[in-house]
């Protein structure tokens, strides 16, 4: 449940500072209180994806295993409420209030469904003993049939004084077998069923009634269990809206707890939020790439974006030096901050952006006649049409899909248009080092490049973004 919600948070980040701050407060509460974090983890580990189970209940496809999982999940909700009662963040208090224990449903599942794993409704044995007197009676007949036959045999012997024994065949069913040596008169309620060389076989109304019960008990038992299982499912259906609300609250708690774990484990910091249209990050790190680097440390970088003197950053430098990583890193950190997460940096101050636009990489759609250059131009056109002064633009290698001078002209034209008409905070990576000169014409454009160390004929990329042009 938390995984699906986290995906939604990342696909639709928050824009209002108050909403972001509320999430940050909750994440910080978990980060600062280790015992609460550990207790929350213990409880969440025992909660299943009952949001999906509720959907199966609604559609009539739920299994006994699902209902056991639902019961086990409901069983630990009181513990989760107890853990969150010590929280100080407003959002966690609000989520705790939304959590309901659903005692009626929990009691129904405790009384109705057995605990054994691997329960399958078509095999029976799903409904707990004591839930239905009728089912208990049928089970008793099936389980105690041998004892009943022995009792019946003893009773008939005492009643008639005739030596007899009870037998069974698939053709004739149950019968009393009396040998010809027993010459005592046979009672009237004994009905002859079969004659043998040395004996006669009889049935009685009581034996016939028992036979019907035993032979149909398995079929009746399965049918009754299926009906009772359906009754339980229908009773739970009335509680689904309230339980979905609880599931959503648990998913939200899971997300906040997970963001706190990531922040604690990876040394993330809480970014401050501003209304000055400024993005300022000190020693920012890419959260994904730093996890995958085995033999070397990730080199952190700073970034400053504002509408005064750092509106457009023109980033030049060789391939594989780290330009694209740097730009993506800025976008990812802004996205994380607006989702309410802490960020991998020494410190950061971020003004929420309305949208993040990216034009990265080379791709085509030849099937519909879209060349690499056409795809690039369509994406750039979309960005220039929809971006605002509150947007963040990540533009990588604009103009690479055509000839050198045409591409350079397009790249320059895009920068000029952004500067004059859009005023979005822009990171613009390019191989056209001629564009460095644009910083001389506007105080809002700044040049940055990737530091490179030369030793004789060898060069080493230092992965550090520094002021200046390549």
Q: Per residue in 402-414, pLDDT tens?
A: 888 999 999 999 9
Distances (CA, A) of 161 to 183, 202, 443: 11, 15, 120
CA distance 40 to 81: 10
* Cα 184 to Cα 193: distance, rounded to the nearest angstrom: 18
What per-residue confidence (pLDDT) applies to 338? 98
CB burial of residue 329 (10 Å; 0-12, 13-18, 19+) = buried
Backbone angles phi, psi at 466, to 5 degrees: -125, 155
Tell whether the model's pLDDT for residue 353 goes beyond 90.
yes
| pLDDT score at 183 | 65
Q: Is the pLDDT of residue 7 over 90?
A: yes
pLDDT given for residue 435 in this prediction = 95
Pairing label, strands 347-350, 272-273: parallel
- Judged by average pLDDT, the poorest of 187-196, 206-215, 393-402 is 206-215
Phi, psi of 343 (to 5 degrees): -125, 150
Q: Average pLDDT over the chain, rounded to whole?
A: 91
Extended strands (E) in 258-390:
272-273, 279-284, 301-305, 312-316, 347-350, 356-359
Mean per-residue pLDDT, 52-66: 93
Average pLDDT on 235-259 reads 96
What band does 307 get if pLDDT is binned at 50, 70 and 90? very high
Confidence of residue 216 (pLDDT cuts 50, 70, 90): confident
Q: What is the pLDDT of residue 426?
A: 97
Q: What's the N-to-C CA distance of the chain in angstroms?
A: 48
Crossing angle (nearest 10°) for helices 240-266 and 90-98: 150
Closest listed residue to residue 288, CA positions, set 269, 264, 262, 313 = 262
Burial class (CB in 10 A: 0-12, 13-18, 19+), 1: buried
CB 360 within 8 A of CB 330: no
For 84-88, 99-103, 321-325, which range has the lowest pLDDT when averaged over its residues?
321-325
Mean pLDDT of 300-317: 96
User: What is the model's pLDDT at position 117?
Assistant: 62
Report the run of H or E that residue 428 belongs to, with start and end: strand 425-429
């Amino acid at each position: 449940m938390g995984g699906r919600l986290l995906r939604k948070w990342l696909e639709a980040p928050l824009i209002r500072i108050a909403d972001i701050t509320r999430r940050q407060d909750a994440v910080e509460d978990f980060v600062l209180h280790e015992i609460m974090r550990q207790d929350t983890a213990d409880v969440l580990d025992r909660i299943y994806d009952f949001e999906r189970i509720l959907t199966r209940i609604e559609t009539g496809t739920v299994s006994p295993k699902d209902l056991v999982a639902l019961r086990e999940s409901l069983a630990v909700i009181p513990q989760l409420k107890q853990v969150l009662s010590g929280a100080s963040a407003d959002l966690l208090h609000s989520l705790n209030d939304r959590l309901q224990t659903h005692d009626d449903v929990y009691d129904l599942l405790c009384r109705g469904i057995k605990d054994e794993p691997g329960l399958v409704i078509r095999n029976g044995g799903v409904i707990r003993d004591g839930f239905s007197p009728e089912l208990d009676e049928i089970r008793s007949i099936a389980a105690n049939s041998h004892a009943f036959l022995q009792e019946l045999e003893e009773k008939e012997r005492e009643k008639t004084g005739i030596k007899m024994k009870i037998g069974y065949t698939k053709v004739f069913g149950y019968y009393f077998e009396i040998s010809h040596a027993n010459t005592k008169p046979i009672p009237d309620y004994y009905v002859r069923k079969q004659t043998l060389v040395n004996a006669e076989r009889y049935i009685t109304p009581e034996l016939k009634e028992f036979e019907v019960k035993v032979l149909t008990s398995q079929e009746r038992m399965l049918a009754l269990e299926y009906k009772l299982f359906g009754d339980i499912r229908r009773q739970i259906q009335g509680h689904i809206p309230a339980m979905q609300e609880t599931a959503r609250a648990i998913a939200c708690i899971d997300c906040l707890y997970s963001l706190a774990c990531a922040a604690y484990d990876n040394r993330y910091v809480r970014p401050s939020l501003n209304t000055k249209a400024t993005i300022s990050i000190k020693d920012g790190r890419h959260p994904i790439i730093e996890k995958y680097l085995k033999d070397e440390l990730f080199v952190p970088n700073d970034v400053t974006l504002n509408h005064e003197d750092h509106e457009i950053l023109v980033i030049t430098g060789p391939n594989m030096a780290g330009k694209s990583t740097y730009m993506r890193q800025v976008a990812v950190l802004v996205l994380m901050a607006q989702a309410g997460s802490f960020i991998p940096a020494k410190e950061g101050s971020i003004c929420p952006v309305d949208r993040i636009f990216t034009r990265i990489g080379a791709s085509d759609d030849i099937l519909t006649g879209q060349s690499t250059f056409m795809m690039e131009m369509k994406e750039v056109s979309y960005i220039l049409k929809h971006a605002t002064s509150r947007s963040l633009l990540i533009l990588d290698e604009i103009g690479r899909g055509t000839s050198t001078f045409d591409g350079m002209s397009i790249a320059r034209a895009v920068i000029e248009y952004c500067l004059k008409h859009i005023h979005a905070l822009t990171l613009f990576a390019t191989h056209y080092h001629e564009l460095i000169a644009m910083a001389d014409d506007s105080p809002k454009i700044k040049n940055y490049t990737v530091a490179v160390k030369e030793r004789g004929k060898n060069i080493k990329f230092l992965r550090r973004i520094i002021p200046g042009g390549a």
